[in-house]
Structure 1
Amino acid sequence: MVGLTTSNAVWTSIEKFFSTNERAWVMTTRLQLAALKKGNNSISKYYHKVKSYSDSFTASGQPLNDLEYTYYLLGGLDSSYESLVTSILTRVDLMPVDEIYNHLLTQELRFQRQQSTVDMAVSSANVATRGDSSRGPPSSNSPSHNNLALSS
């Protein structure tokens, strides 16, 4: 503030300083939010990360509107959520964020159920395969081997 002679000049300088820093913060934070991905996080954890960014924007006096929030939330999901994302984005009216969150939780539960079904099927197949291999190849005296030899 050296060289400023009036209180108006000091306030203008302070305002300019903070507005420049605020713009930089907004741009940086928006870039971070746009780069945020769900990855291996649960939907709940991912949603709360997005919400934390949104709350920061609100606290700064520049809240995200519902459309921006929706795009950031859906933009970080992987392709396994594609059908749900498409159905949300192609609606005529904008779905409320809490409703989107509920749909995402439901989809995550479906994925978990499907995965546990696949895991059980693989586990059962492994048990069945190990059970058969423990018997070894049929001997020449076994009925199934003899049937093959006789039918030739």
Structure 2
Amino acid sequence: MVGLTTSRQIWQALETSFASQSKAKAMQYKMQFQNIKDSLPIIEYLGKIKRCCDLLAAIGCKISEDDQILYALNGLGPQYDPVMVAISARVDGWTMQEVSSLLMSFETRLEGSKSSSSHINVDGSISSLNLTQMPAFRREVSPAPSSNT
């Protein structure tokens, strides 16, 4: 503020300074959306999405609920394709809460299907179930009758 003589000049300088910082922060938070990956448990993943949205709202860059849903779905892997199809097929809009519940439910189902294909041994180790085909019947060869005549 050195060299500024009027309050108007000072306010304009402050506005310019804070506006550029806000734009930089908004870009930083939006870039964080792109770096969030779904390798996290879905509850943590959605928490990071919410934190980014909250930070953007705090600097005056509110993200609409539709865009929040879009950001959340965009970062999911192909295992969530069935959920994405269901969400895009619905005529009525979704709330972020509904999408979150659906994603958490789907993750639970995915984890359940993974665990049902494994078996936990007595020692705590996990082994996959292996099924082998058994022959439908066994042909037993009986010795030829002996002739004692």
Identify whether the pair has TM-score above 0.5, normalized to the shorter chain. yes
TM-score (structure 1 length as normaliser): 0.77
Question: Higher mean Cα deviation, 70-79 or 59-68?
Answer: 59-68
CA distance 1:20–1:84, change in 2 (3 Å): same
* 3-state SS, counterpart of residue 14 of structure 1: helix
Which structure ranks higher in relative contact order (CA pairs < 8 Å, sequence separation ≥ 6)?
A: 1
Structure-2 residue corresponding to 1:19: 19
Structure 1 residue 112 and structure 2 residue 106: aligned?
no
* Alpha-carbon distance between aligned partners in 1 of 2:142 and 2:13, rounded to the nearest angstrom: 98
Picking from 130, 135, 141, the partner of 1:147 is 141
Measure the CA separation in 2 of the matches of 1:51 and 1:149. 78
Q: 1:83 deviation in Å?
A: 1.5
Where in structure 2 are the equivalents of 1:1-152 lying within 5 Å?
Answer: 1-39=1-39, 41-120=40-119, 123-125=128-130, 147=141
CA distance in 1, matches of 2:141, 2:26: 80
Percent identical residues = 27
How many angstroms does 1:77 deviate by?
Answer: 0.6
Gaps of 5+ in 2: 121-126, 133-137, 145-149
Task: State the Cα RMSD in Å.
Answer: 2.5
Q: Which runs of 5+ in 1 are unaligned?
A: 129-143
Q: CA offsets per residue over residues 51-100 of structure 1, 9 Å max, x none?
A: 11111122222221111100111111100001211221232222111111
Structure 1 segments of 4+ aligned residues over 4 angstroms from their partners: none
Deviations 1:24-61 (A, max 9, x none): 1111211111231111x111111111111111122222
- How many residue pairs get aligned? The number is 133
Say which SS state the counterpart of residue 45 (structure 1) adopts: helix
Whole-angstrom distance in 1 between the partners of 2:2 and 2:143: 106
Q: Distance in 1 between matches of 2:143 and 2:41?
A: 59
> 1: CA distance between counterparts of 2:107 and 2:143?
55
